[in-house]
Structure 1
């Protein structure tokens, strides 16, 4: 009986063929180069850790999304990482616990989840990001948003837009300005996130209805948010958003959705989602959060972002033109070929008498010491 599924990949996983792999390398390098230029040092955590470590490091991490299995050596549960941010938090609190703050770290690597997000079946993604640990100030937020935009533009994205949000909006208002019973807060958060006016009233959040109007282009939406601010409870948040927007300037189109919660499971006072023209879905998210320190109950503020550039990589790979490649016949001069590579040529050497340069993707052939176009 024929083995019909030996060449299949599991749902949500795929190979990167040469064009896509090359584009992935260029995009990753471009993103990391921008982060490096801003003083962010790269770290490389392992792809597998103890489940307890990853699940308890930051609020909002969902262990049920992780692939888990028992380690034969320790007999403890291990997990494949679903988010590198939590690993960077562990490194900052342990191996880099004594490093000067604010600590600037960046990373790139694959992450996996048991199931895709919404209608997207993808379970493995490239995550590239940066974390500034030791501060979640307005200046830090402005730096990270501006750097994310710069990095994506350097990688080839265009028409970038950024949507700001206030993940702790309901908690801030419920504490005093628009009081809510503790058992209603989560329902009000959910209905605001869903933009469901009827559901919001049913959940006991009628006073929060005006927030549904403070959505759209940043300049107009922030004015509406300021106009409905209950007793100035959001004055500090509004001032901070204006300062961050000023830092971005005209580098990206800015919008505001202060009640957006999807994808901001562990962010605190500030969050943002970043998009690019012609690419489906979000390219990344970021915001302020806290990491656990070594001591029980100890927390450290941080702010960062995670980019998921797979859609950008696919778009660049599809638009890629063939590179100039020089065919080297059998018994060519090896020293001459090395000199040609040193000045930028990409070469493909013949390994048999019937190697066809055109079929091998070459654009030129080495003849008499010269590169001749095919």
Structure 2
């Protein structure tokens, strides 16, 4: 008779959107993450480690556009307040900068890495748990700050081994700026224009009161040099002059490191960014590797610029996320422990036999320790 307490196969199924990372993939993740963090550290970004869980109100209160309905929420048995699993670490870094590091010298450079979770997946990404890493530069709202952040993002990807990087620029507050005076719109029309630009619907945009004036924005997209000229031609009244100048300055700093494009009305993934945003792509990855841009931290009203990368698409760009086989040294029973330690100090990975029957090939070893020497299998 089957023991009713024995787990069945159905008991071991993971929830939709969650998965295990097995040894080869976990090793690849660790290697990529270590390389990315080292690159950010090399530029002076200090790592912080926010908690996995916070009060819902805190996670929702530091940035505009944060959607609490996407968070996994539950009641804290101690305070009886609503807790939430973080769905984005950027908001936590903003809280840290505004509170416990509020008196730290500016500009403040922080980086981070950790798991984030959503209560449900979106259409573009079926995963409900992701490994997020990134950097934030707090206390400066200049093209120099934005340029530095973008350079760090590109170098972090290069350090992980990513090649064929491309950057797509956007102006998240574009419609809001133009609707004020240059191309005036009512509040209702402004929202309608945003919606039609999001869907790239020329007919729908022309049908909105005042929307026809925004049609040229649909065509001010493509290769950066061409698109920025088309955008400048639209900006006859100069409302976007400072933003266009900023984009040109940033592009000049990274044009030799990545392929650059511009889609000035793109808003997907830029819920809290202000005048500048960018999306990172690379050869081999199906979707975006990450996003970044400028934003304001609520409470302190400080300007900041940052970026977030997600390790799964980074692994796609690296060819699927399987770590290359490492030189692994088989240690037979009765081996010289000092010799084994010396090989580990030189960077070898060792696997020790527990019995005489252990097979080094089955265990994935590439070499065998004979005396104090490594012999190829």
TMscore range, shorter length = over 0.9
| Equivalence map 1:59-208=2 (5 Å) | 59-204=64-209, 205-208=211-214
**Structure 1 position 143, deviation (Å):** 0.7
User: C-alpha deviations, 1:134-173, integer Å up to 9, x for none?
Assistant: 1121110111111111110111111000000000100110
Identify the residue that residue 301 of structure 1 maps to in structure 2.
Answer: 303
Identify the residue that residue 259 of structure 1 maps to in structure 2.
Answer: 265
- Structure 2: 5+ residue runs without aligned partners? none
RMSD of aligned Cα (Å): 1.3
2:12 matched to 1:7?
Answer: yes
Identify the residue that residue 353 of structure 2 maps to in structure 1.
Answer: 350
Q: For the structure 1 residues 3 and 271, does the alpha-carbon distance in structure 2 shift closer, same or farther, using more than 3 Å as the test?
A: same
2:322 matched to 1:322?
Answer: no
> How far apart, CA to CA, are the structure 2 residues paired with 1:10 and 1:136?
42
State the SS of the aligned residue for 1:221.
Answer: helix
Answer whether contact 2:162 2:314 (CA < 8 A) is retained: yes
Identify the residue that residue 333 of structure 1 maps to in structure 2.
Answer: 336
> How far apart, CA to CA, are the structure 1 residues paired with 2:218 and 2:97?
38
TM normalised by structure 2 equals 0.95
Out of 309, 312, 315, the position equivalent to 1:313 is: 315
> How far apart, CA to CA, are the structure 2 residues paired with 1:303 and 1:43?
16
Answer whether contact 1:23 1:317 (CA < 8 A) is retained: no
User: C-alpha deviations, 1:166-224, integer Å up to 9, x for none?
Assistant: 00100110000000001111111111121110111222211100111100000000011
Q: How many residues align?
A: 370
> How far apart, CA to CA, are the structure 2 residues paired with 1:215 and 1:67?
37
State the SS of the aligned residue for 2:329.
Answer: strand
> How far apart, CA to CA, are the structure 2 residues paired with 1:348 and 1:61?
47
State the SS of the aligned residue for 1:178.
Answer: coil
**Structure 1 position 34, deviation (Å):** 1.0
- Structure 1: 5+ residue runs without aligned partners? none
Answer whether contact 1:19 1:317 (CA < 8 A) is retained: no
Out of 36, 39, 50, the position equivalent to 2:44 is: 39
Shifted more, 113-122 versus 97-106: the winner is: 113-122
User: C-alpha deviations, 1:90-109, integer Å up to 9, x for none?
Assistant: 00111001001111000000
**Structure 1 position 316, deviation (Å):** 4.7
Answer whether contact 2:143 2:250 (CA < 8 A) is retained: yes
Identify the residue that residue 286 of structure 1 maps to in structure 2.
Answer: 292
**Structure 1 position 116, deviation (Å):** 1.5
| Equivalence map 1:228-243=2 (5 Å) | 228-243=234-249
> How far apart, CA to CA, are the structure 2 residues paired with 1:150 and 1:275?
13
**Structure 1 position 365, deviation (Å):** 1.0
**Structure 1 position 319, deviation (Å):** 5.2
Answer whether contact 1:66 1:80 (CA < 8 A) is retained: yes
